[in-house]
């Protein structure tokens, strides 16, 4: 909610978005070193889009964890969690860019990226009944489940 406050609510208090002002350096001419500037395609004024390092690093940590989990679970990319989370990240970025175009103001990208990555992961894990395994970092594979079901039946 940090980004949401500083992007959407701070203009009501300070007349400008504090997050956008800090990211662009205000009147200093300096910009935050952890900022990617992406040229806006089709913009006749040559403006650019900004993406903060946290918008890449935080979902990236989750996606890399999911890839490791899939490898330990002997799952292919789209049989596990990595592929869907990657697609969720892409969709979240597309929604962020749409929001930028529609609202014509800076957007907290994590507002759109978290549901795409973490939301997708939680829904899939819940549907598979693997949420606790994913949380604990234990590989989830069919053989392990069969062993646990066999042991829970008793002697």
The residues carrying an active-site annotation are 3, 55
Structure tokens given for 120? 């997708």
Decide: 108 and 50 in contact? Cβ < 8 Å: no
- Cα–Cα distances in Å, from 60 out to 12, 97, 114? 32, 18, 11
| CA gap 110, 62 in Å, rounded | 13
Residues, the chain, total? Answer: 155
| CA gap 74, 130 in Å, rounded | 15
The candidate with the shortest Cα–Cα distance to 80, out of 60, 90, 66, 91, is 66
Residues 70-92, buried b or exposed e (16+ Cβ, 10 A)?
Answer: beebebeeeebbbbbbbebbebb
């Amino acid at each position: 909610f940090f980004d949401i406050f500083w992007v959407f609510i701070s203009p009501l208090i300070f007349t400008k978005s504090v997050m956008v002002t800090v990211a662009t350096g205000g009147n200093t001419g300096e910009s935050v070193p952890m900022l990617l500037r992406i040229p806006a395609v089709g913009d006749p004024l040559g403006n650019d889009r900004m993406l903060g390092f946290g918008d890449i690093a935080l979902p990236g940590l989750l996606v890399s964890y999911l890839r490791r989990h899939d490898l330990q679970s002997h799952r292919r990319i789209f049989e596990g969690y990595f592929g869907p989370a990657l697609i969720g990240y892409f969709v979240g970025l597309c929604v962020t860019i749409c929001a930028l175009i529609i609202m014509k103001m800076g957007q907290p990208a994590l507002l759109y990226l978290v549901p795409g990555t973490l939301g997708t992961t939680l829904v899939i894990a819940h549907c598979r009944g693997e949420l606790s395994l994913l949380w604990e970092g234990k590989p989830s594979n069919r053989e392990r489940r069969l062993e646990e079901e066999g042991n829970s039946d008793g002697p």
